[in-house]
Amino acid sequence: MLHLVNKSPFESMGFEDCLKYAAKGSSILFYEDGIYGALPGTAIADRMASVTSDYKVYVLKEDMMLRGIDKIMDGITEVDYAGFVGLVEENKTASW
Amino acid sequence: MVVFRTAPYGGNYSFEGLENVLIMGAYDQDVSVLFIDDGVLAIKKGMDNSGTGIKDFSPTFRALEAYDIEKIFIDRESMESRGVSLEDLVIEPEVIEANAVEKMMEEQKNFFMF
Amino acid sequence: MEGPYQHEASDSAYQFTKAAIAKGHEILRVFFYQDGVLNSNKLMDPQADDRHIQKQWSALGTENNIDFIVCVAAAKRRGINDTVTAEGFTIGGLGMLTELAIEADRLVEFRA
């Protein structure tokens, strides 16, 4: 299962809601404003560190570039749109 | 599976979700309906649109059974955190826990989130 | 899908579709609903230095023979009919989304 999160975790409950129902070991992709969840050193960085140990977490490179973000936390994998497609090949999706 | 997870009226998602459920029923699909998070507020009793004129779609939820849509579930924690109980709702979904939601999601082919 | 320009959903859906085609996947259909129906509006006229969302879709659709369906109920509420939709976009019922759910291996929803 691939959970798609497109809202900033600082603005929306989407990410927390997703975690409530997402089975451990499933995949999460941050895209659009969701990518801000992958920033290092934020107020939710500790929380995110535990999330990365329970889930496979990805972030969409094109949306990072668009927003001038070039640093992400350890444990989160950058993918481009081709990688996004690859994740969808492997998983059915739920959009939060 | 159609998942209702947003509050009604502020956005149009619940109504669109409901239309989707009805169409899937019309296609004889084995459709499950799930209310989580703010979605539990979409089936609140006593909606009164006389002050706003926005279409009240809550009666249509009551009609789901007539369309043979019987797999209707609601997340307990979402209800509790919003002070909603079954008596407050226009239909009576089966109350389930978040981990049951998680299992159910893994078993479904597609999700439509509204 | 959410409305073009107001939200990134249209752009994400477009980029994803393009990438899926590039990897050799068949796109059965793109179903536009909610404010997403506005993607089909040929009257849109963005500033010259910005992307033209409708034309992007149309070019991709023509090259790859993709079925673009605009949800009729959502379109009617927003004043979108076949005098406004660009070539390649067809107005159709919500049932065509259900068909997608039945027939496609994968369905991805780009929402606000």
Q: What is the pLDDT of residues C8-30, one digit of tens each?
A: 999 999 999 999 999 999 999 99
Determine which one of C53, C71, C80, C86 is catalytic: C71
Provide the pLDDT for residue C85: 98
Provide the pLDDT for residue B89: 97
Provide the pLDDT for residue C71: 97
> In which band, very low, low, confident or very high, does the pLDDT at A80 lie, cut at 50, 70 and 90?
very high
**Does the A2-95 domain belong in CATH 1.10.357.10?**
no
Provide the pLDDT for residue C5: 97
Does the structure show a pLDDT above 90 at C2? no
Q: What is the pTM of this model?
A: 0.95
Give the Cβ contact number of residue B63 at 10 Å.
12
Chain B CB contacts of A95 under 8 Å are 111, 113
Question: For the segment A58-71, what is each residue's pLDDT rounded down to a tens digit?
Answer: 999 999 999 999 99
Does the structure show a pLDDT above 90 at C112? no
> How many distinct structural domains can be found in chain C?
1
C-alpha to C-alpha distance for C89 and C95, rounded to whole angstroms: 16
Chain C CB contacts of A29 under 8 Å are none
> In which band, very low, low, confident or very high, does the pLDDT at C99 lie, cut at 50, 70 and 90?
very high
C-alpha to C-alpha distance for C63 and B94, rounded to whole angstroms: 48
Please report whether residue C57 resides in a domain: yes
Question: For the segment B54-72, what is each residue's pLDDT rounded down to a tens digit?
Answer: 999 999 999 998 889 999 9
Residue (of A57, A32, A60) closest to A44 by Cα position: A57
> In which band, very low, low, confident or very high, does the pLDDT at A4 lie, cut at 50, 70 and 90?
very high
Chain A CB contacts of B108 under 8 Å are 92
Query: Can you give the residue range of the structural domain that contains B49?
Result: 2-113
Does the structure show a pLDDT above 90 at B48? yes
The reply to whether residue B37 touches residue A13, judged by beta carbons under 8 angstroms, is yes
* Token pair in block for residue A68: 């001038």
Give the strand order in the sheet containing C89-92.
Answer: C30-32, C68-71, C89-92
Please report whether residue C17 resides in a domain: yes
> How many distinct structural domains can be found in chain B?
1
C-alpha to C-alpha distance for C109 and C112, rounded to whole angstroms: 10
Please report whether residue C1 resides in a domain: no
Residue (of C32, C42, C43) closest to C3 by Cα position: C32
Is the CB of residue C8 less than 8 Å away from at least one CB of chain B? no
Query: Can you give the residue range of the structural domain that contains C18?
Result: 9-103
Question: For the segment C25-80, what is each residue's pLDDT rounded down to a tens digit?
Answer: 999 999 999 999 999 999 999 999 999 999 999 999 999 999 999 999 999 999 99
Indicate which CATH number applies to the domain containing B59. 3.40.1260.10
ipTM here: 0.96
Question: For the segment A10-64, what is each residue's pLDDT rounded down to a tens digit?
Answer: 999 999 999 999 999 999 999 999 999 999 999 999 999 999 999 999 999 999 9
C 55-74 residues inside an 8 A Cβ radius of A: none
Average pLDDT over every residue of A61-88? 98
Q: Are strands A56-60 and A76-79 parallel, antiparallel or unpaired?
A: parallel
Provide the pLDDT for residue B65: 86
Could you tell me which residue, C57 or C1, shows the higher pLDDT?
Answer: C57
Please report whether residue C75 resides in a domain: yes
Please report whether residue C108 resides in a domain: no
> In which band, very low, low, confident or very high, does the pLDDT at A7 lie, cut at 50, 70 and 90?
very high
Partner-chain residue, chosen from A13, A17, A94, that has the shortest CB–CB distance to B105: A94
Indicate which CATH number applies to the domain containing C14. 3.40.1260.10
